[in-house]
Amino acid sequence: MDLNDANLQTLTEFLRKTLDPDPAVRRPAEKFLESVEGNQNYPLLLLTLLEKSQDNVIRVCSAVTFKNYIKRNWRIIEDEPNKISEADRTAIKANIVNLMLSSPEQIQKQLSDAISIIGREDFPQKWPDLLTEMVTRFQSGDFHIINGVLRTAHSLFKRYRHEFKSNELWTEIKLVLSTFALPLTELFKATIELCQTHATDVNALKVLFSSLTLISKLFYSLNFQDLPEFFEDNMETWMTNFHGLLMLDNKLLQTNDEEEAGLLELLKSQICDNAALYAQKYDEEFQPYLPRFVTAIWNLLVSTGQEVKYDLLVSNAIQFLASVCERPHYKHLFEDQNTLTSICEKVIVPNMEFRSADEEAFEDNSEEYIRRDLEGSDIDTRRRAACDLVRGLCKFFEGPVTAIFSGYVSSMLAEYAKNPGSSWKHKDAAIYLVTSLASKAQTQKHGITQANELVNLTEFFVNHILPDLKSPNVNEVPVLKADAIKYVMIFRSQLPKEQLLQAVPLLIAHMQAESTVQHTYAAHALERLFTMRGPNNSTMISSAEMAPFTEQLLINLFKALTFPGSTENEYIMKAIMRSFSLLQEAIVPYIPTLIGQLTQKLLLVSKNPSKPHFNHYLFESLCLSVRITCKANPATVSSFEEALFPVFTEILQIDVQEFLPYVFQVMSLLLEIHSNSIPTSYMALFPHLLQPVLWERTGNIPPLVRLLQAYLEKGSPTIATSAVDKIPGLLGVFQKLIASKANDHQGFYLLNSIIEHMPPESIMQYKKPIFVLLFQRLQSSKTTKFIKSFLVFICLYCVKYGAIALQEILDGIQPKMFGMVLEKILIPEVQKVSGPVEKKICAVGITKILTECPSMMDTEYTKLWIPLLQALIGLFELPEDDSIPDDEHFIDIEDTPGYQTAFSQLAFAGKKEHDPISNIVGNPKILLAQSLHKLSTACPGRVPSMLSTSLNAEALKFLQGYLHAATVQLV
């Protein structure tokens, strides 16, 4: 694509169409852009548009498209096509910083993100001048440019907060500090001076304070891994100024907005974070500064209002106190009873109140409320911070803190009892206080695993929680109902089983509540209860115990999916999946109705998949329906196919990329249930599964290979007769997979199924080319994973076609090739083979080579007989050799960047491990003994004399054990 006006015009038109709400216009435009993104100059055309287009919408759209293109394609992955030419990469890096700094803020943010994505791959090795280019801009004095640099540096360095320690990381941080730390400190000091100079100019202050916030974020990232020497030497400068900024209160920067945090709040909350980092990690060095920070932050907390805009600041300030109070160093600051009472009264209790803003979120923004409350993304809420502070204080002062709060809980519940209708917020706060007091340790799987012994959870449940759950009107005071449900869910491991069983029908009833939060919590609580394990690892609640409630449970779950706001509720869908899994055959009578509802839902969401978890659980539920019903009656598989195939066909036709891996897995599951023939509906689809475009997407590979294996297992005679022209296509897929280091094992899965199931005559002409391909790959790129798979394949070939056939085909490619494969690959590497079935295949294959291949006994191959036997005994008796050479770092299959639909394995579509020789061989050690006995009978005296002269004594001892177990001896 040349950089010319015609191409710019075309690109503009297609970008405009991608914004069209009509999928019929939008989808083809997206497909077009996807088809041209491998062309040279494509990214440069996007950059030209975002710089020069007259239309602001197109500029922003180009910036977003460019960032997403970089996100998908910048990382170079072995075996994957590299869509960005070297010339384009160089041109992008040469221009992007300038372009970012001269663009308006909306575009600057997109380009800043793109720089950090490129930086993650190329900085510092392939982009050494990035930092110097950025640092020189600090001299410009233009804060639009300076903030652009700071924003980019922030997105580049923030990964230091969660990367694992490594020498590579240290080297990079060291390089960054040497270039960046001093200019950043100078900029910090200069900006603070400018704040004083412009103390009365509100516009200047806004720009300067956003710079100070970014500088404070950078400080956090650069100090996260370890305390750098530079910052230790300059701690006085940073901490004194941070402390000064915490104390600062400039009236000009106060906002009237009650919701949105202002610049002053954002800066102070970041400073609280920085102080907490130093208090936790570098307490010795930070000790001289700590008392003044504790005082400043305490004063801040006591004087800050309840408005939403202060939430981040208050929660970070409380988190600072929480991190300080649980360090033994600082225990003395909190020991005084008056201090504890004051913290409880002035900080904790006020910040646990359910405010009108929380009530609004509960009613009108339930998704966000649930995300914060259930999934712990409430890290920046006042309640969560207050709860963490309670836990921190309980570490050293559990008795006094529990006593102080027990008084509060009693008075709050008394207030509620006086007037339940209007004082429900008192009870809500009391429940929250009890929860934070009682919770010591928590896991996703078990809820609270360690509780405060001073709190009687069961008594509180009976007196205060159960009455709300039992209330006949499920829609009355939904917040307290949701609290009660959450209490059961959180303390499920602490409450006795009979109380949990008492709660089950009540939770089922609460799924009819109109409140989204309430019915979602009810579904989630049931799902968690159903996963609990009792003794002997069975589920704690059995299918039999659920029998009286089964019908109501299923009705209410599916009904809840029809409520406004819950049509794609992932918690309800997960509860459906878990209920199916728990109830097993108890759901069979309901399946005919339920499968219709599930397929209807699938058809609906396939139009615009937007909730990945919901979709995943939906497919899991479909798999469970199939599995459970067909286990009871395999013939019902055809009714599932009737229900699902029309939807699947539509998904395949409109190419819903996110759903294809799921569809292939469900189809495999269905096909594997068929006895030994393949329905025509599947055969009609077979040619489409071999289309190269499907194999381009990494996420499709594992489920497609499994589906083709199912085709081969159930329908190889049909393929050999009615689809013989498709065999080259099948081998073409194998050839593509085998060339890739990431997917070669999938190629072998396919090849092994071809060898195992296809009629020998149908693949006769392809056998030699297959071996040639494998040897070419061995020569060009020999990896441990490839060798392990290769060994299993040649041994399977030997089991299937015999040792003589293996020797003939190898020696037919090149004289003495058979001996080379044994000597250079099989004997030295077989110890690396892993997996019981794989080891068994190798053992049987090697046994056949030893005992059924005449040339092993009377040609130059004879010298390999003993080493091969020794290797086989080693495979039986020695530990597996799992060492991998240093230069082999495999790309994990799931490790694909960007927007590629990664492969999501469906747990309930799981494939049983297949043993191709289970019906031939039970114990391979016995087989070896019997085969050696047979061989020694055919040539008496040869075998014992070879063994006694050459076999290692320990191996001989093992071999005698096998012979003894098989009750045979050698002659």
**Distance of alpha carbon 826 from alpha carbon 806, whole angstroms:** 13
The reported pLDDT for the residue numbered 261 is 87
Contact call for residues 767 and 809 (beta carbons, < 8 A): yes
Contact call for residues 698 and 902 (beta carbons, < 8 A): yes
Q: Is the preceding peptide bond at 944 cis, omega within 30 degrees of 0?
A: no
Contact call for residues 767 and 723 (beta carbons, < 8 A): no
Query: What percentage of the chain's residues is helix, strand, coil (to nearest 5)?
Result: 75, 0, 25
* DSSP letter (8 states) at residue 3: S
When pLDDT is averaged across residues 830-846 and rounded to a whole number, the result is 95
For the segment 696-729, what is each residue's pLDDT rounded down to a tens digit? 888 999 999 999 999 999 999 999 999 999 999 9
* Cα-based angle 582, 588, 593 (whole degrees, multiple of 5): 110
Give SS3 for 732.
helix
Q: Is the pLDDT of residue 417 over 50?
A: yes
* Cα-based angle 390, 396, 398 (whole degrees, multiple of 5): 55
Is the model more confident about 917 or about 182? 182
Q: Sorting pLDDT into bands at 50, 70 and 90, what band is 919?
A: confident
When pLDDT is averaged across residues 341-346 and rounded to a whole number, the result is 92
Q: Is the pLDDT of residue 842 over 70?
A: yes
pLDDT, mean over the chain: 92
What the block records as the tokens of 305 is 């209002």
Give SS3 for 165.
coil
For the segment 623-646, what is each residue's pLDDT rounded down to a tens digit? 999 999 999 999 999 999 999 999
List own/partner pairs for 813-821 with CB under 8 A and 24 or more apart.
813/768, 813/771, 813/772, 813/775, 816/860, 818/855, 818/861, 819/860, 819/861, 819/864, 821/794
Angle of the 105-122 helix axis to the 86-102 helix axis, nearest 10: 140
Contact call for residues 549 and 596 (beta carbons, < 8 A): no
The reported pLDDT for the residue numbered 19 is 94
When pLDDT is averaged across residues 46-74 and rounded to a whole number, the result is 95
When pLDDT is averaged across residues 58-67 and rounded to a whole number, the result is 96
The reported pLDDT for the residue numbered 379 is 60
Give SS3 for 739.
coil
**Distance of alpha carbon 851 from alpha carbon 946, whole angstroms:** 13
Contact call for residues 894 and 903 (beta carbons, < 8 A): yes
**Distance of alpha carbon 368 from alpha carbon 377, whole angstroms:** 9
The reported pLDDT for the residue numbered 453 is 73
Q: Is the pLDDT of residue 965 over 90?
A: yes
Please state the φ and ψ torsions of residue 712, each to the nearest 5 degrees.
-65, -40
Exposure letters 376-409 (e unless 16+ CB within 10 A, then b): eebebbbbbbbbbbbbbbbebbbebbbebbeebb
Give, in order, the Cα–Cα distances in Å from 891 to each of 35, 119, 635, 888: 26, 20, 42, 9
* Cα-based angle 290, 296, 302 (whole degrees, multiple of 5): 130
When pLDDT is averaged across residues 116-136 and rounded to a whole number, the result is 92
> What contacts 624, CB < 8 A, 6 or more positions away?
577, 580, 581, 908
Percent of the chain with pLDDT over 90: 79
Report the Cα 773 to chain-centroid distance in Å: 35
The reported pLDDT for the residue numbered 859 is 85
When pLDDT is averaged across residues 882-903 and rounded to a whole number, the result is 46
Q: Is the pLDDT of residue 378 over 60?
A: no
Of 457, 356, 468, 352, residue with least CA distance to 412:
352
Q: Sorting pLDDT into bands at 50, 70 and 90, what band is 890?
A: very low
Identity of residue 474? V
Percent of the chain with pLDDT over 70: 96
Residue position matching structure tokens 């009530």: 359
**Distance of alpha carbon 210 from alpha carbon 109, whole angstroms:** 14
What the block records as the tokens of 712 is 């081969």
Give the bridge partners for 539, in sequence order.
533
The reported pLDDT for the residue numbered 912 is 78
Of 400, 392, 397, 468, residue with least CA distance to 430:
468
Give the bridge partners for 258, in sequence order.
none
Please state the φ and ψ torsions of residue 637, each to the nearest 5 degrees.
-55, -35
> What contacts 110, CB < 8 A, 6 or more positions away?
60, 63, 64, 66, 67
Give the bridge partners for 439, in sequence order.
451
Exposure letters 88-103 (e unless 16+ CB within 10 A, then b): bbeebbeebbebbbeb
**Distance of alpha carbon 282 from alpha carbon 140, whole angstroms:** 35
What the block records as the tokens of 377 is 């993304």
When pLDDT is averaged across residues 830-842 and rounded to a whole number, the result is 94
The reported pLDDT for the residue numbered 447 is 67
For 442, the enclosing helix (H) or strand (E) is strand 439-443
Q: Is the pLDDT of residue 33 over 90?
A: yes
Q: Is the pLDDT of residue 257 over 90?
A: no
- Least confident range of 277-281, 445-449, 872-876, 960-964: 445-449
Q: Where are the beta strands (DSSP E) in 311-431?
A: none
Give the bridge partners for 533, in sequence order.
539
* pTM, to two decimals: 0.83
When pLDDT is averaged across residues 223-234 and rounded to a whole number, the result is 96
Residue 889, by phi and psi: left (phi above 0), alpha (psi -120 to 50) or beta?
beta
> What contacts 567, CB < 8 A, 6 or more positions away?
561, 604
* DSSP letter (8 states) at residue 542: -
When pLDDT is averaged across residues 452-481 and rounded to a whole number, the result is 92
* DSSP letter (8 states) at residue 743: T
Give, in order, the Cα–Cα distances in Å from 301 to each of 258, 326, 330, 511, 750: 17, 19, 19, 39, 64
For 114, the enclosing helix (H) or strand (E) is helix 105-122
